[in-house]
Structure formats: structure tokens, C-alpha cells
Structure 1
Amino acid sequence: MKSNKLISIIIPCYNDWQYIEQAVASALNQTYNNIEVIIVDDGSDTKTKKVLSTLKAKVDKIITQENQGVCVARNVGIEEAKGDLILVLDSDDYFEPDFLALAYRKIIENDSIALITCWSNVVNSCGDLLYVTHPTGSDSNEILYYNNAMGSCLFKKEVWRQVGGYDLQMKSGYEDWEFNISIAKKGYKIHVLERILFNYRLTKNSRNTKAIAFQKNIRKYVFSKHKDLAMKNYEKTLNFFLDEIEKSKIEALRYKTSNSYMLGHFFFRNLNKIFRNFK
């Protein structure tokens, strides 16, 4: 293992006092042991800072900054990293012990692969399994439409430099999607290990959960930034948006025929009749 490259594990943390210890433990328990662990405290609350203070002796560095968002936190941590390979890990998620060993082996044997991800358990706040997701990886012809990769992943630091790091304009979520698009546009591949080696925690406070409310603006920004890729695949872009319109119509129809909608419609219709009788 001594000849293996150093991998820097970057863990941005914002108010995840109840999960950060598990995230750090999953980093330290990797079977690949040539690692450094850097936590970036992105302006966390007092409760989280107390937990972080207990982890200080276990990790290589804790960087403290005012709250500036996950993109800034990741970029700051990566800038400080000594390793040529970077593993980003959100503070409410955790990896299985074999991820790094398997991902490292794959990323060093193929120069065209810049980023490694894997299949994932999606768990709730208590760690109970909700479902399993099987991302398939993407290239420049697909990544603009489907992000088939997990946000916590292993990648080459040099590639991070080439794409300018995480885009600081991506403040509302899906920053990993935009980052992956930029990587794919450079001609690199995004590879998926076909094993469940990651656990993504889905809660009401998860960034991607919140990002749903901003999907329109996020997509507008991403498609504008990568207009060259959208126009290169013009027919695919057109079909993508036509499919999205069709999905919206189907969802609207499904809602209008649902029991809750029909019951609400019946209730308000009769309520209006009652009010009219009092006029």
C-alpha cells in the first residue's frame, strides 16, 4: 500500500452534528489506507462545532469558515489537499469500507476515466433503507440530460483544476451534476462500480431535496452555460424537453384524477353552494 497515491478525503460540514461522526468513521475505515481526511466546517452551529471538536484528533485538518455553501467548502478543502486524488463526501452520507480500494484500482488503470462513483443505498434520517439506485455513468452525449453519478465520488485533482472546480454559481443544488458535465466535456469518462458501496441519506433538509424547488432556474443556468453541448446534440436536447413537457402533463392529469383532488373539488364546489345560499 505504501506505493499507492495519497487520496485526500474532503468532508464539507454544515450543521450535520448527528451524522458527521458516521461520515468520518466511513472515511477512516477504508481498506485503502493511504489517506488524509479534511473537514471543512462551513459555518456550522454550536452543537455541530462541539462534535467536530471531538473529531479533531482523528482527522488531518479541520478548516473553519463562514457559511458560503458546499461549492466553496469543497473547493477550499480540495485546494488544501495534498493528494493527487480527491474523494468528496457529504457529512450526512457514508461509504462502505471497500469503495476506495476498488475505485483506486480502476481510476489508475485507465487515463480516460476521471471520476469514479458506484451504486448506492438511499437511506432515511435513521439509516433505514428506502431504495437502491444504480447510476450507469455518463459521457458528454448523455450527462447534460441525465446525471447518472452520485455526488460523493473519487476524482483526479488535476481534472478538478482543468474545469475550474465546483461552480460557485450553483448555490441551489445539483452542483455535482454541473461539475460532471464540465468533466465529460473535457473528453473524460465517468465510471460506475457496479456494487453498492455508498449510502446516500435522503432527508427533508438534503440539498437535492431542496433543489427540486429551483429546478427551472438550475436547468436554465446549466443549459445556458453548456449551450455548446446542447446545440451539438440538438435533437436530443429537443426530445429531452418535449419528454419533460409530456411528463408534466401526465403528472397533472394523474393529480386531477386522484382521490384527494376529487374529494377537494367536491368539498369546495359544495362549499360555494352553501355560501351562495346565504347571499
Structure 2
Amino acid sequence: MAKSLVSIIVPCYKQAHLLDETLNSVMQQTYKNWECVIVNDGSPDHTEEVALEWCKKDKRFSYVSKKNGGLPAARNTGVKKTSGKFILPLDSDDILHEQYIEKLLPYFDDPTIGIVTSYRFFFVKSKTNIIKIYKPNGDNYRNLMFENQLMPSSIYKKECWVEVGGYDESMIKGFEDWEFWLNITKRGWLYHTVEEPLFYYRKAKESMLIDTHRNHAETNKKYIFWKHKELYIKHFDNFFEVMFYNLNVHRKAELQIKNSLEYKIGKALLIPFKVFKKLFKFVMNMTIKSNLKSI
């Protein structure tokens, strides 16, 4: 695998101000046999200007622009333009360790491995400001059924993308990478984790992932469970246990909130407003009745 071409896909949408740092981490890779496709997903900022400057710097960079269609469609567009045996999706605000490709690629010598990932840093603003390290575990689909262990920028064999038909373009509200990994591994492919933090994930106050967890998590999970229901039926006992465990966790969290001092104070403060609302409704009804009698 030492000489194999690695195709890096960088979808861009409203991240032009961070794109230079991301593409510089590509340029600094110690593994040199790569190509990088920058996909402008209809971004309204100066993404095109930044991308074209990098294409001038190094012929390994290329650029494609498309109408906005969401992250999975942008990734698929990029993959279709590639020639490499391996695919590395890279979001336009994240950063690769300079040895990322060099240290992950050798594990594909095992023909059962379809995906290779690593430990990753979470950082705020600067990659020197590390707030935590995430360490994936497991190696097969059973480890992915209820939680996404793999980061979106794991490296995978292009034949896996072909086998599953690419990313599910209907999943524009997130978790498309989770569904993609599950779709690959349920076919028998394994994944491997390099036990070193070789990737920098930018933690932002507002991001697509935050919006997904805040507003679309349950809907997306339901979609994944239904799409791959044969897995959850096969492991129904485990599925049953996990679902009721989650219900219990949510119930305890709800009770904890209701028993908190803040909740009780807030509820007490609302009492005058509730009384006023009832009084206002009563007065309005009496006024209407009075008006009707006078007609």
C-alpha cells in the first residue's frame, strides 16, 4: 500500500476563512502520493478564490463547483472525480496531523480492513488548545449499531464506497457518515483504529454536528435503524436493552430537572402569569357576554 494514491475530498460550505489551514495540513503530509479534490457546495463566501489559489500552488489540488445539495452529495461528487484506491474525506475546518496518511495506510495490508481511523483531538480555535481526546473502540458493525465510533475523516477503500453506492444523499441533516460506516461494515468489512491522536477536530459553538444533535438526532437514528433493520432484528435482545436503557436515562434526567431548585423557582415565578392569563380570559368572556346581551 506504500505507493497507493490517496484521494482527499474537501467539501466546502461557508468555511472559506478556515480553508487555508485545512489545505495546508494536506500539503504538509509526509505521505506524498495524494490528490485533493476541493468541492464548493454552492458556498456564498470566497471559497472559490481560496481553492483556486491552492490549485495554482500544487497540481495535486483540483477544484469542482456545484449547486448546494448538502454534505453527502458534495462528498459523492468529490469521490466521483478521484483516481485513488483510498478515500480520505476531510471537512474544511479540520486539520490532519502531518503523519496521518503515512501512519494509517499500512493497516490496509490486511485485506479484511475496509476503514482505518485514529484517536483524535478536539480543539477550540487553535489546534494547540486541546479540550479532549476521543478514542474509538471495536472493529465491526456491532460496535457501530448504537454509536458512531468512527470520525468522518477515517480513510477507506474506494471499493467500499462503490459497494454501498456512496453516501446517502437524503441524509442532509447529519449522521450520514455513521450510516455510511454501518453500511460498509455490515457487509463484512472490518475497521482498525491507530492508537495515536493523529487528527484535529474543530469544536465550534455552532456547527452542523451541534445542530444535528440538538434538533435531528432522534429522526436520524430512526432512519438508520429502519434502513438497516435487519441488523437490529438480528440483535433484537441487545437493541431492546439499549432502547430501554436510553429511556431510563432520559426519564432520570427529566426528573432531575424537575427536582432542581432552578426549575422550582422558575415554576413559582410563572404562577402570577398563569393567574393573570386566567383572569384575562375570564374578563374577556364576561365582556363578550355583556356585549351580546346589549345587542
Quote the Cα distance in structure 2 between the aligned partners of 1:258 and 1:199. 37
Shift of 1:210: 1.1
Q: Which amino acid aligns with 2:222?
A: K
Name the SS for the 1:97 alignment partner: coil
Quote the Cα distance in structure 1 between the aligned partners of 2:277 and 2:104. 66
Q: Which amino acid aligns with 1:185?
A: K
Matching residue of 2:286: none
With normalisation by structure 1, the TM-score equals 0.92
Shift of 1:272: 4.5
Matching residue of 2:45: 46
Quote the Cα distance in structure 2 between the aligned partners of 1:275 and 1:162. 60
**Structure whose alpha-carbon radius of gyration is higher:** 2
Ranges in structure 2 where 5+ consecutive residues have no aligned partner: 284-295
Name the SS for the 1:220 alignment partner: helix
Pairing of 1:33-182 with structure 2 (within 5 A): 33-58=32-57, 59-107=60-108, 109-127=109-127, 128-182=129-183
Quote the Cα distance in structure 1 between the aligned partners of 2:183 and 2:278. 60
1:123–1:199 CA contact under 8 A, matched in 2 = yes
Shift of 1:106: 1.2
Q: Which amino acid aligns with 1:104?
A: L
Quote the Cα distance in structure 2 between the aligned partners of 1:98 and 1:221. 36
Matching residue of 1:218: 220
Matching residue of 1:5: 4
Ranges in structure 1 where 5+ consecutive residues have no aligned partner: none
Number of matched residues? 277
| Alpha carbons of structure 1 residues 232 and 268: separation in structure 2 relative to 1, 3 Å | same
Quote the Cα distance in structure 2 between the aligned partners of 1:171 and 1:50. 26
1:202–1:209 CA contact under 8 A, matched in 2 = no
| Alpha-carbon displacement from aligned partner over 1:124-155 (angstroms, at most 9, x marks no partner) | 24543222211114412221112111111100
Whichever structure has more helix as a proportion of its residues is 2
| Alpha carbons of structure 1 residues 247 and 167: separation in structure 2 relative to 1, 3 Å | same
With normalisation by structure 2, the TM-score equals 0.88
2:12–2:41 CA contact under 8 A, matched in 1 = yes
Shift of 1:120: 1.0
Name the SS for the 2:141 alignment partner: coil
Name the SS for the 1:200 alignment partner: strand
Name the SS for the 1:64 alignment partner: strand
2:29–2:98 CA contact under 8 A, matched in 1 = yes
